[in-house]
Amino acid sequence: MEIFKLSALCLFPFLLLSAIAVVAGDELTTYVVHVQTQENHVFANADDRKDWYKSFLPEDGRLVHAYHHVASGFAARLTRRELDEMSAMPGFVSAIPDQMYELQTTHTPLFLGLNNAEQGQGWRSLSSDRGAGVIIGVLDTGVFPDHPSFSGDGMPPPPAKWKGRCDFNGSVCNNKLIGARSFVSSSMSNATNSFSSNDWRVPPVDDVGHGTHTASTAAGAVVPGAQVLGQGMGDATGIAPRSHVAVYKVCGEEDCAGADILAGIDAAVADGCDVISMSLAGPSVPFYQDSMAIGTFGAIEKGVLVSMAAGNSGPNASSVANVAPWILTVAASTMDRAIRSTVRLGNGLFFHGESVYQPTTSRSTYYPLVYAGASGKPFAELCGNGSLDGMDVRGKIVLCVLGSGPDRNITRVLKGAVVKSAGGAGMILMNTFAQGYNTFAEAHVLPASHVNYAAAEDIMSYVKSAENPVGQILFFGTRLGMSPAPSIVFFSSRGPSLQNPGILKPDVTGPGVNVLAAWPFQVGPPSASVYPGPTFNVISGTSMSTPHLSGIAAFIKSVHPDWSPAAIKSAIMTTADVTDRAGNPILDEQRVPADLFATGAGHVNPERAADPGLVYDIDPSDYVAYLCGMYSSQNVSVIARRRVDCSAVTAIPESMLNYPSISVTFQQTWNWSTPIIVERTVKNVGEVPSAYYAAIDMLDDDVIVGVYPRELVFTEANQEQSFKVFVWPRQNGGKVLQGALRWVSETRTVRSPIAISFA
Ligand SMILES: *[C@@H]1O[C@H](CO)[C@@H](O)[C@H](O)[C@H]1NC(C)=O
Ligand SMILES: *[C@@H]1O[C@H](CO)[C@@H](O)[C@H](O)[C@H]1NC(C)=O
Ligand SMILES: *[C@@H]1O[C@H](CO)[C@@H](O)[C@H](O)[C@H]1NC(C)=O
Ligand SMILES: *[C@@H]1O[C@H](CO)[C@@H](O)[C@H](O)[C@H]1NC(C)=O
Ligand SMILES: *[C@@H]1O[C@H](CO)[C@@H](O)[C@H](O)[C@H]1NC(C)=O
Ligand SMILES: *[C@@H]1O[C@H](CO)[C@@H](O)[C@H](O)[C@H]1NC(C)=O
Ligand SMILES: *[C@@H]1O[C@H](CO)[C@@H](O)[C@H](O)[C@H]1NC(C)=O
């Protein structure tokens, strides 16, 4: 897989969720309504179910989506008064105002996109047959189907279970792109405002690029000669190049509605997808109010693995999204490449930064340096449109600070456009402390260099102290072997999870910085040479790491078709790398060791994940026991899509779910002379016979962690063995302790991170 480094945080595709205000009165608002039949009635067919849904509605034409597989309910346009009336009807359970997810990139159409490039090495040692026989459903902005990444050449037909359809006309779909549908309700006309009629056939064209990028990252075909503005030349390939792709457009140009995403999940499950990839993130709400959590629970009950973005709200603590334990929650980290753009100052000091736009510049010419914030105007240092008014920057290199401003719409490429239109000769894009050592290589419209915080401080002190500060920007192309790599990127959202602190989130990290994949059009400044051949782009986000993990899950599924989503997740997590390429602990954006709330189990290692030795499996009914430990019967029933009586279920605390990682919290009221005991069960999916010995990595003296038994012997395939982990705190330290449990055999290590918190 070719992956390029990209530089921009705000430019890239991240999806932000903002709840739409519910308006009182007669205005129509879309609600996701959950309903339940008496006695868990089973409908003969989809039409019967839909008729029942319609019986809740005040009139025809209000139904937006009827859900059949992953939710018991529908989306409908209702007034507040109608909703009140509906809530008194038998069978009504709850209604959630639809939530919108915004696609941040679409606010920057004039910038010809994000781009940058740098070649990233994927996992070349794996066979090019990765993912055969597996279908990945990508819920995103649609797809640009003519890209060679979606060529069906050499692909076998989809497996017989495939029931989906292609709403592109003619022969656009093929054995690679096997399905394509749109669920964007905002594009429905009022006259035909129901998808449930089954005649809604709109081609899921990608007007943004995000969906084309994520789908090709997960399962794109091998395409030689990939590049962005001439950088990062090489073969582009998806992580699972033999998997089939089904595209479900759930986002318009501006945003994505929760009701539409839920309809996309419903269809992907019905169509026969094995993996669902969703590069979306929303706010933190209880699972019974979270359409993503509800829909994905239905998916995993039907054996479909769901991979979702941890979110781009880092590095603040507890910013992680998509935290339900049945979801694979994916953080983002760097790769070992840079597209080098170097700042040289008049005093001889130089600083390496990045840019994918690499024009030829003179090594003998220096330009005056000017700090955009020198005017003292609010936010002028961000180089937003208008901020340079009244400043003479003609022929100068302008120093702009990273940051998207109060309206969150000042992208990094826009800053360059503002400098350029004011007559600037170049731009130095400077990190603030929060972004630390991360830089992005992007398709700026003028000579530019994005430098880290340490460089920014040195450059600023030179500009402030020198009488006539001057500098130049020089370009050195794509560099490999950068260190440290991988490292957690600043924007990757962090745990602990607010909804369920007893489950360690995110789960795992993968490449999400400067990732090269298919794009519908050429990016870069209008003056850039036109590069023939297919178009690519380099962008960053947990949106980018998510489809890497989706592709890896597809690869594991193709090797182990009978594994459950939980088993695949376990395999990915217990084999993840906890050190970087140099063998040191994985660092974060400040170059200090990243904690478990940043890395989860570590950086995915696909080869080892395909052969984990032991797995921590979870039956869907275990999640119901877990949910009953958190919520009321009524709340659990919404998620389970059927009446659940929690008093008849043996509820378990979060930490007792058979999760591949361990997270325990000591409350103030804890009896300090007793341990927390956590039980786990592992299944042998490796050699027979085999023996594993427990090892505990816990450096802190404030806690003692024990395991019983300390040896697990397996004499049969798929044999299960249980063990207990005891956590004795020595004192209420008021801090977070981190370590790991390793089950070690002659050939393998099965590792579970352990997080211990004191409330
Ligand atoms: C297919 O759709 C495209 C636009 O989506 C349209 O331009 C073209 O005419 C259509 N072709 C056929 C054969 O209908
Ligand atoms: C649907 O009807 C409402 C009310 O008549 C109108 O405000 C809205 O613009 C219409 N939407 C579309 C997509 O036609
Ligand atoms: C992150 O934390 C910092 C410092 O505590 C705070 O100033 C900032 O507003 C937080 N950001 C978000 C998005 O919550
Ligand atoms: C950013 O948002 C503000 C306020 O909505 C608006 O005035 C400004 O034009 C926007 N800038 C861009 C580049 O979209
Ligand atoms: C800045 O805003 C003006 C007025 O809205 C617009 O004409 C111009 O294109 C913008 N400049 C850039 C670099 O986007
Ligand atoms: C879920 O639980 C909350 C709080 O316990 C309660 O207010 C709500 O009505 C419950 N039911 C549903 C369906 O959300
Ligand atoms: C704490 O646990 C110990 C050991 O089980 C027990 O002897 C003691 O009574 C408990 N203390 C309290 C306050 O419950």
pLDDT digits (tens, 9 = 90+) for 237-266: 889 999 999 999 999 876 789 999 999 999
List ligand 7's pocket residues with C-beta within 6 A.
Answer: 671, 673-674
Looking at ligand 7, which atom is closest to the CA of residue 674? Answer: 2
- 538-550: per-residue pLDDT in tens? 888 999 999 999 9
User: What's the 498 CA to ligand 7 centre distance in angstroms?
Assistant: 30
Q: In the structure, what pLDDT confidence band is assigned to residue 189 with cuts at 50, 70 and 90?
A: low
* Nearest CA owner, ligand 1 atom 2: 169
Residue 11 has a CB neighbour count (10 Å cut-off) of: 28
Taking 60 as the threshold, does the pLDDT of residue 270 lie above it? yes
Short-list 233, 234, 241, 279, CA closest to 155: 241
Give the chain's end-to-end CA distance (angstroms, integer).
43
Q: In the structure, what pLDDT confidence band is assigned to residue 365 with cuts at 50, 70 and 90?
A: very high
d(CA 251, CA 470): 46
Structure tokens belonging to residue 20: 């739409």
Give yes or no for a contact between 475 and 361, defined as CB atoms under 8 angstroms apart.
Answer: yes
Q: Which residues contact 481 (CB under 8 A, 6 or more apart)?
A: 336
Q: In the structure, what pLDDT confidence band is assigned to residue 4 with cuts at 50, 70 and 90?
A: very low
Taking residues 201-216, what's their average pLDDT? 93
Closest ligand to C-alpha of residue 319 is 3
Residue 210 known to be catalytic:
yes
Closest ligand to C-alpha of residue 432 is 3
- Indicate which residue of 313, 404, 449, 543 is catalytic: 543
Residue 147 known to be catalytic:
no
The vertex-504 CA angle with 690 and 217, nearest 5°, equals 85
114: exposed, middle or buried (Cβ count in 10 Å: 0-12, 13-18, 19+):
buried
DSSP code string of 303-355: T-EEEEE--S-TTSTT------TTSEEEEEE--S-EEEEEEEETTS-EEEEE-
* Residue among 188, 190, 192 to mutate when testing ligand 2 (max atoms within 8 A of CB): 190
pLDDT of residue 19: 33
pLDDT of residue 307: 97
Closest ligand to C-alpha of residue 92 is 6
Please state whether beta strands 676-684 and 720-729 pair in parallel, antiparallel, or not at all (unpaired).
Answer: antiparallel
DSSP 289: G
d(CA 227, CA 218): 18
Please state whether beta strands 338-345 and 470-479 pair in parallel, antiparallel, or not at all (unpaired).
Answer: antiparallel
- 705-757: per-residue pLDDT in tens? 999 999 999 999 999 999 999 999 876 666 889 999 999 999 999 999 999 99
Looking at ligand 5, which atom is closest to the CA of residue 418? Answer: 13
User: What's the 673 CA to ligand 7 centre distance in angstroms?
Assistant: 6
User: What's the 293 CA to ligand 5 centre distance in angstroms?
Assistant: 41
Give the 3-state DSSP-derived string for 644-656, with helices as H, strands as E and coil as C: CCHHHCCCCCHHH
* Nearest CA owner, ligand 1 atom 9: 169
pLDDT of residue 199: 66
Short-list 718, 507, 713, 748, CA closest to 611: 748
Residue 543 known to be catalytic:
yes
The pTM of this model reads: 0.92
Short-list 152, 174, 103, 227, CA closest to 517: 227
Give yes or no for a contact between 214 and 537, defined as CB atoms under 8 angstroms apart.
Answer: no
* Residue among 105, 388, 409 to mutate when testing ligand 4 (max atoms within 8 A of CB): 409
User: What's the 167 CA to ligand 3 centre distance in angstroms?
Assistant: 44
pLDDT of residue 111: 18
d(CA 149, CA 245): 11
Structure tokens belonging to residue 668: 């103030």
* Bridge partners, residue 741, by sequence: 696, 752
DSSP code string of 551-584: HHHHHHHHH-TT--HHHHHHHHHHT-B-B-TTSS
- 323-347: per-residue pLDDT in tens? 999 999 999 999 988 999 999 999 9
List ligand 3's pocket residues with C-beta within 6 A.
Answer: 313, 316
pLDDT of residue 102: 52
Tokens 């159409």, located at residue:
109
Q: Please report the sign of the dihedral spanned by the C-alpha atoms of residue 629, residue 631, residue 636, residue 639.
A: negative
With a 6 Å cutoff on the Cβ, whether 379 touches ligand 4 is: no
Give yes or no for a contact between 130 and 241, defined as CB atoms under 8 angstroms apart.
Answer: yes
Q: Which residues contact 127 (CB under 8 A, 6 or more apart)?
A: none
d(CA 306, CA 565): 8
Closest ligand to C-alpha of residue 170 is 1
- Indicate which residue of 107, 210, 450, 603 is catalytic: 210
* Nearest CA owner, ligand 2 atom 6: 190
